[in-house]
Structure 1
């Protein structure tokens, strides 16, 4: 399996709002892993995480690539 780093900015300003990167850790039988999400503050990050827990689904297919959205 080929691995490639995906650089993420710690802070992004979008439409005058500052979004910060927050790490989210989770544990499975294989170990502890991390994902990251952007939020306005820690409370916002917690709300996004709750929404993810309630609504997230795995998409069909494999990730074909990463495209910048700026």
Structure 2
């Protein structure tokens, strides 16, 4: 049994082995949202994030909004759940 400061090793290992799968498009309220990649460069290399948007211009607007307002959440990602 893990203590407060010790991770649950089985759960952590299981999450590390899971993949995150994104559909290329999704219909929401009758509108088709497509997946758009956005790349960014750091000293460690080039990385990507993915955005759902209605079209390329919409994706660019979302990316701009992210640049202006995004903050890193507290804590680590421990799982992915669906919200539909």
Shift of 1:5: 1.7
Task: Please report the RMSD computed on the Cα atoms of aligned residues, expressed in angstroms.
Answer: 1.2
Which structure is larger by alpha-carbon Rg, 1 or 2? 2
Shift of 1:35: 0.5
1:34 corresponds to? 48
Counterpart CA distance in 2 for 1:44 and 1:22 is 10
Give the length in aligned residue pairs: 70
Paired residue secondary structure (2:80)? coil
Is residue 2:79 matched to residue 1:62?
Answer: no
Match of 2:58 among 11, 19, 44: 44
Paired residue secondary structure (2:18)? coil
- TM-score, length of structure 2 as denominator length: 0.78
Paired residue secondary structure (2:65)? helix
Task: Give the gaps of 5 or more residues in structure 1.
Answer: none
Of Structure 1 and Structure 2, the greater helix share is in 2
2:9 corresponds to? none
Of Structure 1 and Structure 2, the greater strand share is in 1
Task: Give the gaps of 5 or more residues in structure 2.
Answer: 1-12
Counterpart CA distance in 2 for 1:3 and 1:37 is 23
